[in-house]
Amino acid sequence: MKNKVYMAFDIIGPNGFIPYVYDKDKLADIMKLELEITHDTEYFKEIPKISSYELVHTNEYDSDNTYLIPLDWCLEKTKIEDILTPNFYNFIKKRHNFFIIYVDYTYEQTMHTLI
């Protein structure tokens, strides 16, 4: 079996996966914005995406795969538990194959150094 790399997202909105540009205090505003506008959410087109629900509540998780969680640079000083849903946060704490990466969603969808 060949190992795969996935981008893991917590929330799927009407426009697709919602990028991590929010913390829990700003989530309501982001959800409202997602309902008001239509935009291209094809972030990281070359990498398959998976939802935290699929990872936590179904058999989609594979310990041989690598899962990247792409946070916007604006969240660099925010605690991860203030961004992710509690179920997802508790799930990744027990796994070795989840990695936080910081990206710039406002400029272009490019990956930066793994943290």
Domain count for the chain:
1
Please report, as a single letter, which amino acid is at residue 62. D
Residue 52, judged by CB atoms within 10 A of its CB (0-12, 13-18, 19+), counts as: buried
Exposure string over 64-77, b if 16+ CB within 10 A, otherwise e:
ebebbbbbbebbee
Given this model, what pLDDT does residue 62 score? 94
Residue with structure tokens 């505003």? 29
- Give me the domain span that covers residue 25: 5-114
- What's the predicted TM-score (pTM) here? 0.79
Q: Can you give the pLDDT at residue 114?
A: 41
Render pLDDT for 41-74 as a digit per residue (tens, 0 to 9): 566 778 899 999 999 999 899 999 999 999 999 8
Kindly give the parts of the chain with pLDDT less than 50.
Answer: 108-115
Supply φ then ψ for residue 75, to 5 degrees: -100, 10
